[in-house]
Amino acid sequence: MKQFITKGGLVLVGGAFQGFGMGLFLFPQSIPSGGAGGIAILINHGFHISMGLSLWIVNFTMLMLAVKYIGKRFTLWTIMGITVTSLSVTFFASIFSIPYRNLLFDLVVGSVFLGTGIGILMRQGVSNGGVGVIAFIISHGRNILPGKPLFIINCFIFLTTAAIISWEIFFFALVSQWISTTVVDIICRIDSYQPYTLGWRKKT
């Protein structure tokens, strides 16, 4: 029970860190936080749906497509993570405001918080949702750190987002992903404790 509560607390913290980085720093500058973030920006741009809700829709849809492969417990924990993240995006974006914004500052700080949140979730065996689910599956199947596949997959989505909105987005998104995925791998290398696992498995 203690491990379960600890895991739940860390999932809440990881989701909140992601939401803080995205809602307060990255999304106001239209910088995609990742593949799901890029798609969410496109939905917001085309249909004027709030970023928090758009992000949740994208993440939940991708998660449902993969549920048969990743297992129900993994899915439930990830739903918890993406819900906290989406609520945090809406909360921080609506409650806090930065009067004098600096693009470089927002890019760096937002990416560090994003990577920290994703890393905390992945240390607990929980995906950050969206294409993170795919990256998590690849990292387990090939026994590699999740940062690299996450970066590669996201790049394809960034190209689409940049082509529709602005090509500057692609450059900023790449820098953000480099920073955040580097932080993810740093956190995933930490061996100071054994995370409580959730019975991740491949479909047999």
pLDDT tens over the chain, length 204 residues: 888 899 999 999 999 999 999 999 998 888 887 788 888 888 888 888 888 999 899 888 878 877 776 778 888 888 899 999 999 999 998 888 888 889 999 999 999 999 999 999 988 888 777 776 777 677 777 887 777 787 788 788 888 888 888 888 888 988 998 899 899 889 988 764 444 444 444 444
Q: How far is CA 15 from CA 25, 45, 69, in A?
A: 15, 24, 23
pLDDT of residue 200: 45
pLDDT in tens, 16-42: 999 999 999 998 888 887 788 888 888
pLDDT of residue 138: 78
Whole-number percent of the chain with pLDDT over 70: 90
One-letter amino acid at 38 equals G
pLDDT in tens, 94-108: 888 888 889 999 999
**C-alpha span between 74 and 126 (Å, rounded):** 7
Quote the pTM value: 0.77
pLDDT of residue 80: 93
| Token digits of residue 61 | 């849809």
Q: Are the C-beta atoms of residues 83 and 56 closer than 8 Å to each other?
A: yes
Q: How big is the CA angle at 53 (ends 48 and 64), to the nearest 5 degrees?
A: 125
pLDDT of residue 157: 84
**C-alpha span between 109 and 89 (Å, rounded):** 15
pLDDT of residue 116: 95
pLDDT of residue 191: 66
pLDDT of residue 104: 94
pLDDT of residue 114: 94
| CA dihedral sign, ordered 46, 48, 49, 51 | positive
pLDDT of residue 69: 67
Tell me the CA end-to-end span of the chain in Å, nearest whole number.
29
**CB proximity list for 131: less than 8 A, separation 6 or greater:** 34, 35, 36, 62, 150, 153, 154, 157
Q: How far is CA 186 from CA 47, 118, 181, in A?
A: 37, 11, 9
Helices (H), 96-167: 103-123, 131-142, 147-164
